[in-house]
Amino acid sequence: MIELSVDLNIKNILCRMQKRTGRVVLKPKEGQIIDELKQAANADLFGIYLFDKNLNPYSQVATQHYEGFLDHYEEYRSFDPILHNVLRHGTVMEASEILGSSGWERHPLCQFMAQWRLSHTMQAPLVLGGEIIGTVNIARDQSRGNFKDTEVSWIWNISQIMSQLLEKNTGRMQVSRKPQKNCNEQRELVIETDGYGYIISKTDHNEKYPDDNIVDFLIQQGIEENLKKINTTGCLVAKKTINTSPPDSEQILIITTAIPSCNNRYLTTVIYSSLLTPQNQLDLELLPPRTKRVAEFLLRGYSNKMIARELTISENTVKDHIRKAYSLYGAHNKAEFAWLVNAPLKIC
């Protein structure tokens, strides 16, 4: 790999990106710098993204001739496992290291990249004021093989250098975002009812949330509607989405399923989220058969203990399958997984 001397041109590129939205058109000298970065990374594609306060890309530059790829990549951004892990861990992430070679090859993003003769990819964070405000992205074709340790170190060093340059530029234009809501703070309820919706037990996995009588009423209505659908249509699972009113607008997903081993007993999982949208949904076909079965039970609201009993496996094995499923789909927890996945069940 060639050595890269960071000069005024890189600083100018980053400064222009901070001031503009969309794809930044590079001047000839700036385009040459991006090509040098691509060559130094032994890559076919080199790109830089800056994010707005909602973590959506508002400015970007990249190697020429990949404009179409970048446009279509936005359809996959919400379930990009590399990006999710960069935002979670704040360090360099490589696709095959996260999912394993076979897992990455089955992922829709990898299959999309293959259409552009790209295969191996990794991302590194750009940090400003202690917060991630962008990424450095590189990708290359299958023939170049996996990234070496020296190449991983190189992109990490480049991202740190660019982060320092962004810090210096903030006197002219501050680029920042609000802290991302911790996904673990999202509320989740598990409610057991009879066939009429009468609550037998309720477990709140985040008890710091105050009770809300209006929301509880909406949830009760949602459970009753789900029970009616199950009983009248014979479907295995029913789900309903409700939206609460401002200022604390939330989307609430209510999933109800019958408990096979108990007559007239139903389990409902209620997931609150203000961050997720039910778009770009996937199915479970990417998962290995046993992991898929675990994921199906998980989406029906089963606890780890219930899944272990149904599949005759240990709870630790259940946890391993759940971690594998989350990683493959780029989800942090069940709230994100439920929104990203369109489970292949008969859901009303």
Sign of CA dihedral 207, 212, 213, 218: negative
Identify the residue whose tokens are 């066939």: 195
Q: Tell me how far apart the alpha carbons of residues 340 and 299 are, in angstroms, rounded to a whole number.
A: 11
User: Looking at the domain 8-169, which fold is it?
Assistant: Beta-Lactamase (3.30.450)
**Distance (Å, rounded) from C-alpha 220 to C-alpha 226?**
10
pLDDT confidence of residue 261: 56
Res. 70 pLDDT band, cuts 50 70 90: confident
The token pair at 89 is: 């861990």
Whether the predicted pLDDT of 72 surpasses 80 = yes
Q: Do residues 13 and 26 make contact, with C-beta atoms less than 8 angstroms apart?
A: yes
3-class secondary structure, 225:
helix
Asked whether the predicted pLDDT for residue 272 surpasses 50, the reply is yes
Contacts of 257 (CB under 8 A, 6+ apart): 230, 236, 237, 238, 266, 267, 268, 300, 301, 302
The per-residue pLDDT for range 120-148, each reduced to its tens digit, is 999 999 998 888 999 999 999 988 888 88
Distance CA 62, CA 38 (A): 9
> 183-340 is classed in which CATH architecture?
Orthogonal Bundle (1.10)
Q: What is the dihedral sign for C-alpha 222, 224, 226, 232?
A: negative
Mean local confidence (pLDDT), 278-295:
69
Q: What 8-state DSSP symbol labels residue 21?
A: -
The H or E element that residue 190 is part of is strand 188-193
Buried residues in 141-172 as b, exposed as e (16+ CB within 10 A): beeeeebeeebbebbbebbeebbebbeebeee
**Token couple for 260:** 């096979």
Q: In the block, which residue shows the tokens 């009588």?
A: 213
For 292, the token pair is 């898929």
Question: What's the Rg (C-alpha) of the chain?
Answer: 23
What does DSSP assign to residue 274? S
Task: Read off the pLDDT of each residue in 306-313 and give the average, rounded to a whole number.
Answer: 89
Q: What local confidence, expressed as pLDDT, does residue 264 receive?
A: 79
The token duo for 289 is 């058969």
Alpha-helical runs (H) found in 74-212: 81-89, 95-99, 101-106, 108-114, 149-169
Quick one: residue 104, left, alpha or beta (phi over 0 = left, psi -120 to 50 = alpha)?
A: alpha
Tens of pLDDT, residue by residue over 175-192, are: 433 334 444 445 667 788
Torsion, Cα of 277, 73, 148, 154 (10° steps): -90
Q: d(Cα 158, Cα 224) in Å, to the nearest integer?
A: 55
| Nearest-angstrom CA–CA distance, 195 and 175 | 53
Domain ranges within the chain, ordered by starting residue: 8-169, 183-340
323 falls in which pLDDT band (50, 70, 90)? confident
Supply φ then ψ for residue 134, to 5 degrees: 175, 180
Give the predicted TM-score (pTM) of the model. 0.52
